Amino acid sequence: MEGTVEDRLENSPQHALEKLSFDSFFQGETRTFYAPQSFCSRTAFFMHHFRYTGNDLHCESVNLAEVARLYGTPTYVYSAATMTDNYTRLAKSLSGLDLQICYAMKANSALAILRHFANLGAAFDLVSGGELRRVLAAGANVKRSVFAGVGKTSEEIELALQNGIFAFHVESEPEMARINHVAGRLGVKAPIAIRINPDVDAHTHAKITTGKSDNKFGIPLKVAGAAYEAAAKYPNLRIKGVQMHIGSQLTDIAPFVEAVKKVTPFVAELKAKHGIDYFSIGGGIGIIYRDALASGSAEWWDAQPAGQRPLTPEAYGAALVPLLQPLGLKILLEPGRFLVGNAGVLLSRVEFVKRGSAKNFVIIDAAMNDLVRPAMYDAFHEIVPLHRDTSRPAMVADIVGPVCESGDCFAKERSLQQVGEGEYVALLSAGAYGYTMASRYNTRGMAAEVLVKGSAFELVHERESFETMIAGERVPAFLK
Ligand SMILES: Cc1ncc(COP(=O)(O)O)c(C=O)c1O
């Protein structure tokens, strides 16, 4: 192929869209800190906006070492441009559908990120009263948002009804009865969709597969008809749609196609019988973890052998739009990881390099409490130095945190540039299920969060202090 990557992309059909989203991300937002603009003119051509400029890792136009020095570590840093691009690209790939994107906020529920997606036109897929209140706190509303989850309490149902929720995604018959009861007490009709379990293997990690018959989620397809009949008999429920979600981190289109093909006849039947308005096909599009940094450039995608190229939103749309369009329904999408996963990194500082006879350990100041995915799912995160020095030899080491658990290990026998005490590293693709799954284990406060937009960056969530951490605790009088 001829020409530079920039030339080719300049002429690609996607360029117009990327140019649009690039231009729009500079619109009116408070800029607290600024970095040189030199990189900005190129950033629209990439799949994410983390890359080395010279030898320093940048997020958009911001040198990440500056963020680490200013706010300390561990700190999550998110790229607004990457989120904008991911959202716009996904929406464009599904054009032709009456589409409603409900961002699965469990992936990352920072208020700033919720506000960013609300500004882009997204609604939300929420799973608790707390998440609902976060949407409100971010200055958005829940009128186009859906409430999922297997254990909704009466208080949560009431809160959702009072705020005009778009629909409840119902997971069981007892839940249906509870929603009916609360709606009756408030004198309203509750909009519902039933989550059906299509019994399709998503071929992903066992802990993030949700569409098999042995999962706790949804109602099996073969009894879903009866569940809808039961729902129709409740006086305070209004049947509005149908929902499914087969799992997370899918990098192959086949399970999505299988599930959609399997349930569309039933969805058409529901439209005829119950007059449903929408079909939610859930979330689940996967991201690149192993080659996270390289996958920011179009060249990396071009180099993947055809047939082995990981799922793109374009391939997702091309396969699913023709299957969904004939239904003549609104289509809801609940992407979480795809929108934010590659838009975030976790910055950390090297505390010690411990050289052993059998193994080397790089001990960093981030730990499993900050990012639990490696300990919980054996997940891979690429780890790179913030300052690249190609003259240094590589070393092989386990990269571990300071928590008192053998499971507090981010990478085993990983080859990386030799690093020393006080230097910074970034754990890539940490924007989804990172901060939201963090804990205070070992009395480590929650990490700080920073949002970057072009050359501006701002602390959007301060590091948790010890005082805040223990503020709700008491020593009882009988121990004094
Ligand atoms: C019902 C539902 N929708 C959407 C999602 C988001 O999935 P992902 O982040 O893989 O897009 C999940 C994730 O668990 C889910 O359970």
* Ligand 1 pocket residue status of 313, Cβ below 6 Å: no
- Residue 73 and residue 87 in one domain: no
Q: How far apart are CA 393 and CA 406, in angstroms?
A: 28
Instruction: Decide if 476 is inside a domain.
Output: no
Q: Reduce the DSSP state of residue 122 to 3 states and report it.
A: coil
Active site residues: 404
CATH number (domain holding residue 395): 2.40.37.10
Q: Could you identify the atom of ligand 1 that is nearest to the CA of residue 243?
A: 1
The first and second tokens of residue 1, run together, are 């192929």
pTM, full prediction:
0.90
The alpha carbon of 65 and the centre of ligand 1 are apart by a number of angstroms equal to 33
Q: What is the best residue among 169, 209, 245 to mutate for testing ligand 1's pocket, by most ligand atoms within 8 Å of CB?
A: 245
* Domain identity same for 144 and 239: yes
Residue 475 lies in a domain: no
Total number of domains in the chain: 2
Q: Which helix (H) or strand (E) holds 396?
A: strand 394-400
Instruction: Decide: 195 in ligand 1 pocket, CB within 6 A.
Output: no
395 and 311 within one domain: no
Q: Is there an atom of ligand 1 within 6 Å of 337 CB?
A: yes
Q: Is 149 in the pocket of ligand 1 (CB under 6 A)?
A: no
Give the containing element (helix H, strand E) for 162: helix 154-162
The verdict on 301 and 317 lying in the same domain is yes
The answer to whether residue 479 is domain-embedded is no
- 216, burial (CB in 10 Å: exposed 0-12, middle 13-18, buried 19+): exposed
Do 29 and 161 belong to one domain? no
| DSSP structure class, residue 97 | B
Assess if residue 244 is contained within a domain: yes
Query: For residue 311, what are the domain limits?
Result: 81-337
- pLDDT (tens place) for every residue of the chain, 480 residues total: 333 333 333 333 333 333 333 233 223 333 334 443 333 333 334 699 999 999 999 999 999 999 999 999 999 999 999 999 999 999 999 999 999 999 999 999 999 999 999 999 999 999 999 999 999 999 999 999 999 999 999 999 999 999 999 999 999 999 999 999 999 999 999 999 999 999 897 766 666 566 555 666 789 999 999 999 999 999 999 999 999 999 999 999 999 999 999 999 999 999 999 999 999 999 999 999 999 999 999 999 999 998 888 999 999 999 999 999 999 999 999 999 999 999 999 999 999 999 988 899 999 999 999 999 999 999 999 999 999 999 999 999 999 999 989 899 999 999 999 999 999 999 999 999 999 999 999 999 999 999 999 999 999 999 999 999 999 999 999 999
> Are residues 66 and 91 both part of a single domain?
no
Ligand 1 atom closest to Cα of residue 283: 11
Asked if 446 and 438 count as a contact pair (C-beta separation under 8 A), the reply is yes
Same domain, 127 and 249: yes
**Distance between CA atoms of residues 435 and 182, nearest Å:** 33
Mark whether 194 and 317 lie in a shared domain.
yes
CA of 457 to the centre of ligand 1 (A): 29
The CB density around residue 67, as the number of other CB atoms within 10 Å, is: 25
Domain end among 286, 320, 337: 337
From 307, 337, 367, give the residue that closes a domain: 337
Q: Which of 337, 363, 390 finishes a domain?
A: 337
Residue 18 CB–ligand 1 contact under 6 Å? no
How close is the Cα of 310 to the center of ligand 1, in Å? 19
Distance (Å) from CA 118 to ligand 1 centroid: 18
Question: Residue 100 domain-assigned?
Answer: yes
* Domain co-membership, 413 together with 329: no
Residue 480 lies in a domain: no
- The answer to whether the beta carbons of residues 64 and 387 sit under 8 Å apart is no
Maximum CA pair distance of the chain?
79
Query: Residue 222: which CATH number?
Result: 3.20.20.10
Show the CA angle centred on residue 340, arms to residues 147 and 88, nearest 5°: 90
* Ligand 1 center to 102 CA (angstroms): 10
The atom of ligand 1 lying closest to the CA of 286 is: 10
